[in-house]
Homo-oligomer: A and B are copies of this chain.
C-alpha cells in the first residue's frame, strides 16, 4: 500500500520553505482546478521547485494531499477547542450558536480547498487524521450536549447522538462550502444552530424552559 506520510521532514530553513511551497502550490491547484488537475509535475511547477525536490520529501502524490489535509484539520481542531473553551459555562443555546458559527467559520476560510478535499478526493474522508478530527469534534459536541442536558433535563437516546453529529457535520460543510456573502452565511449558520437545537432538544431555543435556571 501507498505510504501517506512524508518520506523525510525538512531540516534546514531552505527546505522548509520548499516543503511549504509544495503544500501551498497543491492547495492553490486544488482550489483553482480541482483534484483531477493535481499532477505532481504541475504541483512542483506551481510551487516553483523542481519535480525531484518534490519527490525528495513526498513518496507520492497522495502523501502531499494527506499532509495538506493534516495541516488544515489541525487548524480546525484548534479553532474548535478554543471555541469550546469560550462556550463552557454559557447557557445551552448561546453555546450551540457559538460552536456552530465557529465551525462554519473555520471551514469557510478555505472553503474551496476543503470542498475539493472532503467531497472529491476518494481517500481523504478515510484518512486517519480526518476520522480522528471528526471524532474529536463529535466528542466536543457531546460535552456541549451534556452541559445542556444538565441544564435542560434532556432525554438522550443513545442512537441519536451519531445521527445528529452526522447531520450536523454535513450541514456545516454545506453551509461552509456555499458561495455566498458572509452576511447570508451567518444567517444560515444561525438557522442551522436553531435546527440543531430543535433536533437535540425537541423544542425551540426561544420556547419557555429553554434557559437554565
Q: Taking beta carbons and an 8 Å cutoff, which residues of A are in contact with B?
A: 34-36, 116, 119-122, 125, 157, 159-160, 163-164, 166-167, 170-171, 174-175, 187-188, 191-192, 195, 198-199, 202-204, 207
User: What's the Cα separation between A40 and B188 when bound, in Å?
Assistant: 42
Q: Evaluate contact between A163 and B195: CB separation under 8 angstroms.
A: yes
Which B residues are CB-close (under 8 A) to A116? 122
Q: Evaluate contact between A188 and B159: CB separation under 8 angstroms.
A: yes
User: What's the Cα separation between A34 and B187 when bound, in Å?
Assistant: 37
Q: Evaluate contact between B198 and A159: CB separation under 8 angstroms.
A: no
Q: Evaluate contact between A202 and B199: CB separation under 8 angstroms.
A: no
Which B residues are CB-close (under 8 A) to A171? 163, 166-167, 170
Q: Can you list 9 A-B pairs with a CB-CB distance of less than 8 A?
A: A120-B122, A157-B191, A163-B192, A167-B167, A167-B195, A195-B199, A202-B203, A202-B204, A202-B207
Q: A122-B120, A198-B199, A199-B198 given as contacts; is B174 within 8 A of A191 (CB)?
A: no
7 smallest A-B Cβ distances: which pairs?
A: A170-B170, A120-B122, A167-B171, A195-B199, A167-B167, A159-B191, A166-B174
CB-contact partner of A122 in B35, B175, B191, under 8 A: B35
Q: Evaluate contact between A195 and B122: CB separation under 8 angstroms.
A: no
A188 to nearest B CB, angstroms?
7
User: What's the Cα separation between A198 and B194 when bound, in Å?
Assistant: 11
Q: A166-B171, A199-B198 given as contacts; is B160 within 8 A of A191 (CB)?
A: yes
Q: Evaluate contact between B159 and A187: CB separation under 8 angstroms.
A: yes
Residue of B nearest to A116 (CB): B122
User: What's the Cα separation between A182 and B155 when bound, in Å?
Assistant: 26
CB-contact partner of A195 in B35, B119, B164, under 8 A: B164
Which B residues are CB-close (under 8 A) to A122? 34-36, 116, 120
**Given known contacts A120-B120, A166-B174, A167-B174, what 20 new A-B pairs fall within 8 Å (CB)?**
A34-B122, A36-B122, A120-B122, A159-B187, A159-B191, A160-B195, A163-B175, A163-B191, A163-B192, A164-B195, A167-B167, A167-B170, A167-B195, A170-B170, A170-B171, A195-B199, A198-B198, A198-B202, A202-B203, A203-B203
